[in-house]
Amino acid sequence: MREIECRASDWLFNAGLVGFINIVGKENVRMEGQSVFFDADLLDSFEDKYFAYFIEEYEKTLSWYKIVSFKKEMDRYRKDDFASFDEKALEELNNYIANVAKYYLKSASYVSVYPLIDATADPVEWGKNLAKVGALKKKETFDEKRADIIQEVKQVYLKLDQIIAFCNSEKGERYLAAKNVIYTVIKNAWNGVSFLNPQTKEKDTYVDYRTNFIDPVKEHLETNLEKAKFTCFTCNQPIKNLKLDLSFMNETGFDTARKTSHVWDFNNDIAVCAVCKFIYSCVPAGFTYVHNNGIFINDSVSIDTLHAVNEKIRSAILHDPAQTLTHTSPYRALVEAITNQVEDKRHYELADIQVVRYENETYRFNILSKRALNIFRESKNALTALQRCGFKEGNVNVNFYQETVRRLMNNENLFTFIHKAMYLKVTNASNTYYHMGHIGSLLEINTNFLKEIEAMTEISKGRIWHINKCGNEFKKAYPDHKRSGFNYKVLNALKTNNRDAFMDIILNSYSYLGKTVPDFFLESFTSDETFKTVGYAFMVGVNGAIEQEDKDKDGGNDNEK
């Protein structure tokens, strides 16, 4: 029995280490400082553990699960002899037949592994024989044809039983679900080798993985390297040659045979040992992915903390029953992991930790500063209110939560985002899913940001709430037919940072109403940030019904205006 040591290194290798620990289980490795120790025997049947981990973690996102999970619905209707089977159930059945069963059974990735499951079965033909049931002619109703439809449904259920039993068999799950995780999870991290090599002749993905990643490790461990001339680029251990490189890693590796210009003096020295390449293959298990977006926190003070913080993120994203998986999930999990530190009273500090995000097939890097952590803590409730808000711009969906966290981590203020959100709302643009209260939340978060960077300290949350109320009172007195012109001119003045034009519009408008101009507008002259904050807070009130009567909710004190 030989013990292998892997030390923490760069973020990508650390992600692989976390992934390896996740796959084999924390109890099967020894973590000391920045090193992970494990027995070489742990590599036996590692390919089974590798795919089992992904299938278990991402089960409910897999197309395989969509096929087999319908069995519960079928059993439910059979149990009550179809008494509860109604028109909606018929619609769901036909949708399942057309968009799940028939669709996936003919997919190329599924077809390629059918012989490994049962060479005598022909699921493609089973899919062709499936057809929608209960077609109603004009003027026919579901209740009138119910008896005939139920008979048809019973016949279709028999066909579906065969399909689901095939997919849900031990081998069916082993190969079909493995195909799913290859293309929805693993492919996010690496590509072009093993079962992701389009030219591979090995049909069994498990064998292909073992051949490419595990067998070389065993061979490497048995090789005498006393006279080796080269060293591993990652762990600096001696290696026999430079054959193994990182070209299979997405967005980080390159083909050392064709792109020698990427290395010093065109002489490639970027090669890794078999152990490191094996660890790199575990990177997709170290990241947590949602809809092709991934996140990894490179807290490499020790392996234990590195694993613990990413475990927390993974649990919050994939195993929180109260939350559905959306594009905001990685950001939400990150913010919750940060903000819950205070609640848990744990002595744990994430400041100055590298956060690696995988978005649009590209890695993005941020350092979590203490400033960002404070802003997240101060803005926790306001951020929560933004989770389901957003708008569609062309073919791009913009989520408030995702965009806000991204900007805060990049140390950017939110004024341009607030302006765009408000402009879209006041012009009644389509595909906007928020109201002025949500823009008020953006403004609150931005105020926390400005105070944290000491760009603006004189405006409290209670003051902003008071400005909102004044804007709302102005709205009630100002004629509706004049408001669109007022909005246009004021927003234009705010965007161009033109305080003179802004004050001219405000003075003229209040003169028109015969009312006194509120004194808070004088604060606009103290700084650009205060001007924009006052202006947008007022416009939130002018264009939205601010019903938040509870000042404590906004953090204001009783004696604040």
- Each residue's pLDDT expressed in tens, for the chain with a length of 561 residues: 688 999 999 999 999 999 999 999 999 999 999 999 999 999 999 999 999 999 999 998 899 999 999 999 999 999 989 999 988 999 999 999 999 999 999 999 999 999 999 999 999 999 999 988 887 777 778 888 888 889 999 999 999 999 999 999 999 999 999 999 999 999 999 999 999 998 888 989 999 999 999 999 999 999 888 888 889 988 989 998 888 888 889 988 777 767 777 777 777 777 889 999 999 999 999 999 887 788 898 988 889 989 988 988 888 778 776 666 666 666 777 776 666 655 444 444 556 788 898 888 899 888 877 778 788 888 888 888 888 888 988 888 888 888 898 888 888 889 999 999 999 988 888 888 888 889 989 999 999 888 887 776 677 778 888 898 899 899 888 888 888 899 999 999 999 989 899 999 999 999 999 988 888 888 777 888 888 999 999 999 998 755 544 434 433 333 333
Angle at 375 between CA 372 and CA 377, to 5 degrees: 110
Determine contact, residues 123/116, Cβ cutoff 8 Å.
no
Q: What is the 3-state secondary structure (H, E, C) of 172-203?
A: HHHHHHHHHHHHHCHHHCECCCHHHCCCCCCC
Measured CA to CA, the distance from residue 539 to residue 421 in angstroms comes to: 12
Determine contact, residues 497/532, Cβ cutoff 8 Å.
yes
Give the pairing of strands 35-39 and 30-32.
Answer: antiparallel
Helix 87-96 vs helix 70-79: crossing angle, to nearest 10: 150
Please indicate, yes or no, whether the overall pTM of this predicted structure exceeds 0.75. Answer: yes
pLDDT at 450: 87
Instruction: Give which of 301, 303, 274, 272 is closest to 286, Cα–Cα.
Output: 303
pLDDT at 559: 35
pLDDT at 262: 75
* Other beta carbons within 10 Å of 164: 19
Amino acid at 491: L
Number of helices and strands (H, E) in the chain? 27, 12
Determine contact, residues 48/206, Cβ cutoff 8 Å.
yes
For the chain, the structural domain boundaries read 3-44+189-286, 60-179, 287-368, 378-548
Alpha helices (H) along 319-399: 329-344, 370-378, 380-384
Contacts of 283 (CB under 8 A, 6+ apart): 12, 15, 16, 19, 189, 190, 249
Determine contact, residues 381/498, Cβ cutoff 8 Å.
no
pLDDT at 290: 83
Measured CA to CA, the distance from residue 62 to residue 58 in angstroms comes to: 7
Q: How many CA atoms lie within 13 A of 80 on its CB side?
A: 9
Instruction: Give which of 377, 283, 308 is closest to 336, Cα–Cα.
Output: 377
Q: 255 phi and psi, to 5 degrees? A: -75, 105
Burial tier of 74 (Cβ tally within 10 Å: 0-12, 13-18, 19+): middle
pLDDT at 561: 33
Measured CA to CA, the distance from residue 438 to residue 383 in angstroms comes to: 9
pLDDT at 560: 35
pLDDT at 349: 54
Determine contact, residues 207/113, Cβ cutoff 8 Å.
no
Q: 458 phi and psi, to 5 degrees? A: -90, -10
